[in-house]
Amino acid sequence: MALSRMVGPVASDQERDQLAAQLMTLPVHELADVLRRVLPHYTEESNGLRTSLVLATATEYEDEPDGIDVTFVAWPDRDYYDGGLGPDQGLWEGGDCEQCHTEVSSNAKRAFCPVCGSRCELT
Ligand SMILES: [Zn+2]
């Protein structure tokens, strides 16, 4: 028996292509909501370290070749938006998480930090 059969389900290239094609049809705030349900399952904790898999944006500035801003995408506070995802817009809201001081961005003004889980108020 192949090793892949012993360690669990493994998707074929075609299955992963189909999944990627489905995800590419989503507006960014819906894509972020799908990944909110997925990425935390890949968090690893051991020896006092916790490593989270997060979604991030990287913004490059044409007039500053060395300047790249990286922010982590915060998950919309669905309770605040009555079960919704907040406005259907780009990840234009931004700020720092008050708890862990990570710079975050989101489509929503009320969101959760993807690193520490704290509620963030973005502008
Ligand atoms: Zn945080």
Say how many Å lie between the CA of residue 39 and the centre of ligand 1.
16
Say how many Å lie between the CA of residue 60 and the centre of ligand 1.
23
Q: What is the pLDDT, as a whole number, of residue 54?
A: 96
Distance between CA 42 and CA 54 in Å, rounded? Answer: 9
Residue 7 has pLDDT above 80, yes or no: no
Structure-block tokens of residue 54: 């997060």
Say how many Å lie between the CA of residue 24 and the centre of ligand 1.
27
Residue range 41-51, pLDDT digits in tens? 999 999 999 99
Contact 123, 94 (CB under 8 A): yes
Say how many Å lie between the CA of residue 88 and the centre of ligand 1.
23
Residue range 60-87, pLDDT digits in tens? 988 887 889 999 999 999 999 999 999 9
- CA dihedral defined by 18, 106, 45, 49, rounded to 10 degrees? 140
Say how many Å lie between the CA of residue 1 and the centre of ligand 1.
44
Residue 38 has pLDDT above 80, yes or no: yes
